[in-house]
Amino acid sequence: MAQPVPTRTEAIRILERDRRTTLGMLQRLPARAITTRGLGGGDWSPKDLIGHLESWEQHGLDALEAWARGEPAPSDVALRNVGLNGLNRAEVERKARWSAAKSLTSAGETHQRIVAAIRSSPTSAGSLPPRDGLAGRSGGASGGSSEGRRAPSVTTPRTIRICGSS
């Protein structure tokens, strides 16, 4: 069953609420725990989760840019080619050597950019392409990598289409 498409205001509210929740949880951790693996019973650290969440906000930005050019979202192409676990794994591995400070700074900057992009995005339902059955898709970020790292049992951010005005 398709999930309802949030309005611009609802999408921003969801992003802001979830970011506040995530940052609140991170602030309760001892500093040394930010890079300790085992989050949610998996092999990710809280720093890995920060990078993962940032990646999905960046995927959203990349999708908006691609759609403006009449192209498919790069994340949709990657999902078809390597699947959800492969895409998540590649992003976590790409950011594995980043410091916690770099991860937090980059995630904050990406978050500001996606909120700004949503605020300035078109409001017409016809302005965004169909999502080939991927709209509202969510799922566990589980699975192994070639290095044996397993993701925690968390839900990936849902794909958000901004179609209604608020």
**Structure confidence by residue, pLDDT tens digits, 99-157:** 999 999 999 999 999 999 999 987 654 455 555 544 433 333 333 333 344 443 333 33
Mean pLDDT, all residues of the chain? 79
Least confident of 19-23, 72-76, 130-134: 130-134
**Does the pLDDT of residue 12 top 60, yes or no?**
yes
Over residues 31-53, the mean pLDDT reads 91
Burial class (CB in 10 A: 0-12, 13-18, 19+), 93: middle
pLDDT of residue 41: 81
Using a pLDDT cut of 90, give the percent of the chain over it: 58
Tokens in use for 65? 């840019």
Q: How many angstroms separate the CA atoms of 143 and 149, rounded? A: 8
> For 28-136, where are the alpha helices, taking DSSP H only?
46-68, 74-94, 100-119
Tell me the β-bridge partners of 164.
7
pLDDT of residue 121: 82
Tell me the β-bridge partners of 7.
164
pLDDT of residue 140: 36
**In the chain, what are the domain boundaries?**
41-119
pLDDT of residue 76: 95
Higher pLDDT, 159 or 84: 84
**Does the pLDDT of residue 163 top 50, yes or no?**
no
CA distances (Å), origin 164, targets 7, 12, 118, 136? 5, 13, 11, 15
